[in-house]
Amino acid sequence: MVKIPKEQNRYCSDCDTYTEHTVKETTNARASPFKKKDRKRERKINKGYGGFPYEDPAHRSRGRKNPISEKKDLCYTCKDCGTAYKPQNQIRTAKLEIER
Ligand SMILES: [Zn+2]
């Protein structure tokens, strides 16, 4: 469990200073359905090969540790100018909690 404060002092490139930012998790960001992995998955499903699209995450990686964590999609908004941006290096964790 990773807890991050809702209001953070971060660098804003528009204001060129450190200002207060609000954090928001954008979970419902719609992913493009035309990525290569999605097209491959669709093809395999239509073809009907064995048990390829492993719905159970426990079967995804045999013998290795299963990845539970994922990169979170955090969006930072500057309080002064209102510019919203996403950092290049997002947090990778299984559980995320934004504290008030
Ligand atoms: Zn700003």
Q: How far is the CA of 61 from the centre of ligand 1 (A)?
A: 43
The domain limits of the chain are 2-99
Distance (angstroms) between ligand 1 centre and the Cα of 96 equals 25
CATH topology of domain 2-99: Nuclear Transport Factor 2; Chain: A, (3.10.450)
CA of 97 to the centre of ligand 1 (A): 24
For ligand 1, the distance from its centroid to the CA atom of residue 21, given in whole angstroms, is 8
Question: To which residue do tokens 């539970």 refer?
Answer: 68
Q: What is the pLDDT of residues 62-91, one digit of tens each?
A: 666 666 778 888 999 999 999 999 999 988
d(CA 98, ligand 1 centre) in Å: 21
Closest listed residue to residue 9, CA positions, set 88, 75, 74, 79: 79
Q: 25-48 pLDDT, tens per residue?
A: 887 667 788 889 888 878 877 776
